[in-house]
Structure 1
Amino acid sequence: MSPHPSDIQLDALREVANIGCGHAISALARLVGGRTVNLSVPRAILADATEVADLLGGGEASVVAAKLGMVGPLQGLLLLVLPSEDSAALESLLLRRHDAPLEERESALSETANIVASACLSAIGMLTGWRLLPTVPVLQRGAAGPLLQRAVSETQGDGRVVALETRFDSVGIPAVSGQVLLLLERESSRALLQRLGV
């Protein structure tokens, strides 16, 4: 892959995001009682931390993110990111109560992120023939900017990553929306494209 992925390469990465995130959101739909969860058309971009934060509504947006690493040939991070209000709504749906203690809410959110990430990486694994597993999720709360700055620097020291992004929103009350972000090291992106024959 050249410094700037070609349109054909970006299309291939978008298709990877479509398959992986599609399975991830199906898993999420089952966790929230089988309600319909809509998925946006995924995006694939080469981006720095500011550009990735812009995908989340800007650096000042208050978010909750579950961050998971990847074990296997693909290196990078998977993030399940929700605006703070949507995170609270999802926690209530998962626990079927509004007054659960913080420890229970965070445990439910972490377990959800683990199931969603496992579904995503399993689908990408089926596509590539690779065995891909998520690491233990780490929950982070705060402004999107600093949170993404740390995630991008963990993934790629020089500050630009291949970001695959898909938005989701559930039908019903309370509404829950958020994003699944895959941040890939550029060497991993090259290996993935080579594996796909692109």
Structure 2
Amino acid sequence: MSASYNETQLDALRELANIGAGTASTALSEMLGRSIDLAVPDARVLPMADAVEQLGPPEQEITGIMLGVEGELPATVLMLLTPENADKVCVMLGLEAGSDLVPSALGEIGNVVGTSYLNALAGMTGLAIEPTPPATVTDFLGAIVESILAVRAAASDRTLLLDSSLVIEGEDCSIVFLLVPDHGGAEELLERIGVA
């Protein structure tokens, strides 16, 4: 991955993230029956070590919902929420906090929301991409993010983070939503939208 992108390219990546996250927030809103506010997405190219720091304290306990992305844009979609927010989301779905069904309910949210994001991305870029089934894990933020970044940036010490925050209206509850493409993925996105 090249060391930097110009402002036009970063703006184009932010706009892709914005449209994808907008579609994802609509899907989440329909699932939860709540309005979702969308924070302005960001596009950052960072050294691996800085990427974790940008997302929060590495030792913070976090619940991650991950979907692999296969096809013309190998990537990972990662949704991060605190365990407390994971419980709040499950309660909104009618589950008891701590229920055995929580991981699978969160996985289903990841599946619907992540697939909506990817479908929007595919529609804008013409890329053929397919999500893999979701996995849900609760661990330290550093452990979750480093394991994903290590896989995705195999040929580079830098990673592209396209991140958005989905905030559930009327609840102190938000989900950080990230798209982490493989090495070279940003160039592929930019080429497809004519800003290479």
Q: TM-score, normalised by structure 2?
A: 0.93
Q: 2:103 aligns with which of 106, 109, 129?
A: 106
Q: Give the aligned partner of residue 193 of structure 1.
A: 190
Q: Give the aligned partner of residue 63 of structure 1.
A: 62
Which one-letter code corresponds to 2:7 in the other structure? D
The alpha-carbon deviation at position 56 of structure 1 amounts to 2.7
Q: Give the aligned partner of residue 92 of structure 2.
A: 93
User: In the superposition, relative to structure 1, how do residues 186 and 99 fare at CA in structure 2: closer, same or farther (>3 Å)?
Assistant: closer
Secondary structure of the residue aligned to 2:184 is: helix
Secondary structure of the residue aligned to 1:44 is: strand
Structure 1 residue ranges without an equivalent (≥5) = none
Alignment of 1:1-198 (within 5 A): 2-33=2-33, 35-94=34-93, 96-98=94-96, 101-102=99-100, 104-157=101-154, 158-173=156-171, 175-198=172-195
1: CA distance between counterparts of 2:143 and 2:70? Answer: 25
Which one-letter code corresponds to 2:130 in the other structure? L
Instruction: Give yes or no for contact 1:49–1:148 (8 Å, CA) kept in 2.
Output: no
The alpha-carbon deviation at position 65 of structure 1 amounts to 0.4
The alpha-carbon deviation at position 131 of structure 1 amounts to 2.5
Structure 1 stretches of 4+ with a deviation exceeding 3 A read none
Instruction: Give yes or no for contact 1:170–1:176 (8 Å, CA) kept in 2.
Output: yes
The alpha-carbon deviation at position 105 of structure 1 amounts to 0.9
- Identity of paired residues, percent? 30
The alpha-carbon deviation at position 76 of structure 1 amounts to 1.3
Query: Number of matched residues?
Result: 194
User: In the superposition, relative to structure 1, how do residues 99 and 193 fare at CA in structure 2: closer, same or farther (>3 Å)?
Assistant: closer
Secondary structure of the residue aligned to 1:186 is: coil
The alpha-carbon deviation at position 191 of structure 1 amounts to 1.2
Secondary structure of the residue aligned to 1:130 is: coil
Secondary structure of the residue aligned to 2:73 is: coil
Q: TM-score, normalised by structure 1?
A: 0.92
User: In the superposition, relative to structure 1, how do residues 159 and 139 fare at CA in structure 2: closer, same or farther (>3 Å)?
Assistant: farther
The alpha-carbon deviation at position 99 of structure 1 amounts to 5.0
Instruction: Give yes or no for contact 2:87–2:97 (8 Å, CA) kept in 1.
Output: no
User: In the superposition, relative to structure 1, how do residues 147 and 159 fare at CA in structure 2: closer, same or farther (>3 Å)?
Assistant: farther
Which one-letter code corresponds to 1:182 in the other structure? L
2: CA distance between counterparts of 1:163 and 1:193? Answer: 14
The alpha-carbon deviation at position 97 of structure 1 amounts to 3.3
